[in-house]
Structure 1
Amino acid sequence: MDFTLSKAHRELQEKAKAFTEEVLFPYEMECEENNGISPETHAIINQKVMDWGFNATNHSKEHGGQGMTLFEQMLVSEQLGMATGAIWDAVPQPSYPMKFGTQAQIEEYLIPCCQNKRRDAYAITEADAGSDPTQCLTRADKCDGGYRINGEKWYVTVGNVADFLLVHAHVDGDPEKATVFFVEKDAPGVSIKRTPEFSHHFAFKHPEFTFKDVVVDESRILGKVGDGFNLTKDWFVEARLGIAARCVGGAQRVLNVANEFAAGRIMGGQPIREYQAIEHMLVDMTMDIMAAKSLLYRVCWEISGNISDRKLKHARAAAIKLYTSEMVGRVCDTGVQILGGRGYMRENPVERLWRDTRVDRIWEGTSEIQRNIIGGQIKKRGVEIYTGWDFEK
């Protein structure tokens, strides 16, 4: 069993690292100081994404993407996660479920997204429905001309720059008929209720959308009526693994900064890293990242391989999202402590990552929801689904 990265994988990792440092890092303070990046900056990064070949890493070359395996996508996302302000979101990965669209949908939506000419946003969360899509109240009712959508969606990430939405709704109000619809953002009846502000200063916004008698043609259904729950779960799997990769990358940057600071900060005539209290903090941070990275690489390697069980992928993604999101919280908090007052300054990437990564324990399924998923799988399949080593269980 050989887990050594291939030459191609190492080269991809280095390329992603160079892209992050050369293209994304220079705009971190713009994002911090202006609570987002300007349209001009967005356009510059958009073009750089195409030039460097990081557009749509999660979609096939046939559709205009890079055709990377999940493991390769993870190598890229890990490096992108070192950038603060979620500027990594300017390197879009069009929603995975769009690959299941009709040829007409692929040509109208997916291919332009893969070429950075359009942008999608997945609309799932509601005021009283977050991690459990079955609780959604947004509904779609049959009408002349197709379906009439009514409801409200919260925290639609990149909703301010997207030009169309993938809306998870229940046909006839029935969770068994969960369905995903393509909805143009400028369609009659679609409006932004408000754009809340958050602790972090992200590159893009997370508006709340309302849908009032929005009529969409049947051709705007992704898959078929009733496919919505599985399509959204597929989206959750990819989104959770992306979060996990970025958590590991963000934690690594925090450790790098803290380790360098501890080596250069002199107190009592010696670097503070010589004090056992600080040394042990660095050790704990390092071990946390080592464990998380081992889990991340293993699971992404497995899913890139022969796992065909949709539920097993979902189960493993829940575990890795839970562990890495809580890990990065510990690492960031310790990093702030090592840097002292400097770690509390917004000009410091450690402070920004401390704020940025707090949401990773919430969005795309809270830590508590991940524990529910894991607990449910243990009841059904036994602990070996997580403690064993075989792909399929």
Structure 2
Amino acid sequence: MDLTLSKAHQDIQHKAREFVDQVLVNYELECEVNDGLSRESLETINQAVMGWELNALNHSKENGGQGYSIFEQMLVDEQLGRVTGAIWDTVFRPSYPMKNATPAQKEEYLIPTCQGRRRDCYAITEADAGSDPTQCLTRADRIDGGYRINGEKWFVTVGDVADYILVHAHVDGDPANPAVFFVDKNLPGVELKRTPLYTHHFCYKHPEYIFNNVEVGADKLLGKEGQGYELTKDWFVEARLGIAARCIGGATRALEDANEFAANRIQFGQPIRNFQAIEFMLADMAVEIMAAKSMLYRVCAEIDAGQDRKLNHAKVAAVKLYCSEMVGRVCDKAVQILGGRGYMRENAVERLWRDTRVDRIWEGTSEIQRVIIGGQIKKRGLEIYTGW
């Protein structure tokens, strides 16, 4: 089998790396110092994303996107993971489930979002519902001509700049009848509760929203009633692959910085990389990245080849678990190699160490990924993970 990247794939990889190095890294310290980016900076980046044709990689050209495959999106995400402050999120990508939108919904929401004129965010988590969406208390009660939504959502990433929210709710409060709705933020009853602060600095915020008798028409239902969990699961698959790819990118940058520092830091008359304690850390970091990258590339290729949707969910859980825990180990070693400098926020390894801690939590914790993997082993046997 041929495991080399095609010329087209190498071009995508190179383009994404150039975009990160020429555009995004210039905003890292602004994001760190100000706990976010100014509106002016975000608008400048938005225009650059459009100019470099990196907008809406996950949607078709017909709908204003770039029509990239899962593998191609992964190549871009890996490079985006090199930038700190989650500035990768400025390379906007409308939620994948929006491919199920009606023609009217595509005109109103999807196409302008692909073109950078609107921005979406996805609201699932609640105070008492995280990894298990069936515990959501947000409800959408049927009324004449539509629905009345009541509830509260936490960790609505990009919710500060998005102008509409994709809300996961249960129709008439029935967990067996989940649905996803387009909810414009300017509707009566959509209330910003608070915007918490987090360990990492992020170019966007993660506010909490209250939906107080928010009325939407039947035309705001994405897909069908009862389809909400499947739509959300599709979103999780895409989001988890993106996290895994960015973890590899972040780990690679941390290793590169640590390797360069170790080669130039002279102690006891020689570079510290000559000491076996440091050399072994660098070796372990490189091997971890190689293993994670092999897993990610394979699974993305399998998905593009038409692998069963249920297998996608099972295998992506393994990818997300391994890559998110790998980047934590690699970044921790990078901080250790840089010593006191590794603990200074002006250095990328410190920011990556802090930024990537959340990757073991959001879009399904490591523990939830293990639950999925364990369940799949019981259902399908070990072959799903140990076979080829």
Q: TM exceeds 0.5?
A: yes
Deviation sequence 1:279-331 (CA, Å, 0-9, x none):
00000100000000000111111111121x22111111111000000000000
2:354 counterpart of 1:355: yes
- Offset from partner CA, 1:49-77 (integer Å, 9 cap, x none): 01001000000001000000000000000
1:333 is aligned to 332
In structure 2, the partner of 1:228 is 228
Letter in structure 2 aligned against 1:120: D
Deviation, 1:137, is 0.6
Q: In structure 2, what residue type is equivalent to 1:48?
A: A
The aligned counterpart of 2:252 is: 252
Percent identity for Structure 1 against Structure 2:
72
Residue equivalent to 1:241:
241
In the alignment, structure 2 segments of 5+ residues that lack a partner are none
Aligned residue for 2:146? 146
**Using the alignment, how far apart are the partners of 2:34 and 2:148 within structure 1?**
38
* Number of residue pairs the alignment of both structures matches: 388
Q: Distance in 2 between matches of 1:311 and 1:215?
A: 34
Pairwise mapping of residues 93-132 of structure 1 onto structure 2 (< 5 A)?
93-132=93-132
Matching residue's letter, 2:193: K
* Paired residue secondary structure (1:20): helix
Q: Report the alpha carbon displacement of residue 214 of structure 1 after superposing the two structures with TM.
A: 0.4
Where 2:317 maps in the other structure, the secondary structure is helix
Partner of 1:205: 205
CA distance in 2, matches of 1:115, 1:361: 31
Runs of 4+ with deviation above 2 angstroms:
none
TM-score, structure 1 as length reference:
0.98
Contact 1:145 1:215 in 2 (8 A): no
Secondary structure of 2:187's aligned partner: coil
Q: CA deviation at 1:11?
A: 1.0
1:340 deviation in Å? Answer: 0.2
Measured after TM superposition, the shift of residue 146 of structure 1 is 1.2
Deviations 1:127-169 (A, max 9, x none): 0111111111100101133111000000000000000000000
State the secondary structure of the residue aligned to 2:104.
Answer: helix
> How far apart in 2 are the matches of 1:3 and 1:59?
26
2:364 alignment counterpart: 365
Describe the superposition over 1:199-237 as per-residue Cα deviations: whole angstroms up to 9, x where unpaired: 000000000000000001000000011000000000000
Structure 1: distance between partners of 2:3 and 2:285: 23
- TM-superposed deviation, 1:41: 0.3
TM score, norm. by length of structure 2: 0.99
Q: Output the CA distance in 2 between the equivalents of 1:305 and 1:203.
A: 35
3-state SS of paired residue (1:191): strand
Q: Deviations over 1:352-380 (max 9, x none)?
A: 00000000000000000000000000000
Amino acid at match of 1:316: K
Query: CA RMSD of the aligned region, Å?
Result: 0.5
Superposed, 1:260-279 pairs within 5 Å as 260-279=260-279
| Equivalent position of 1:374 in the other structure | 373
Where 1:213 maps in the other structure, the secondary structure is strand
| Counterparts of 2:58 and 2:143, CA distance in 1 | 35
Could you say which residue in structure 2 is the equivalent of 1:61?
Answer: 61
In 2, the alpha carbon distance for the partners of 1:321 and 1:69 equals 19
State the AA in 2 paired with 1:365.
Answer: G
CA distance in 2, matches of 1:208, 1:187: 16
Cα distance between partner residues in 2 of 1:301 and 1:105: 31
- 1:87-125 C-alpha deviation (Å, 9 max, x unpaired): 000001100000001000011100001001100000000
Equivalent residue for 2:72? Answer: 72
Q: Distance in 2 between matches of 1:145 and 1:224?
A: 15
Q: Which runs of 5+ in 1 are unaligned?
A: none
> SS where residue 216 of structure 1 aligns?
strand
Secondary structure of 1:176 counterpart: coil
Letter matched to residue 183 of structure 1: V
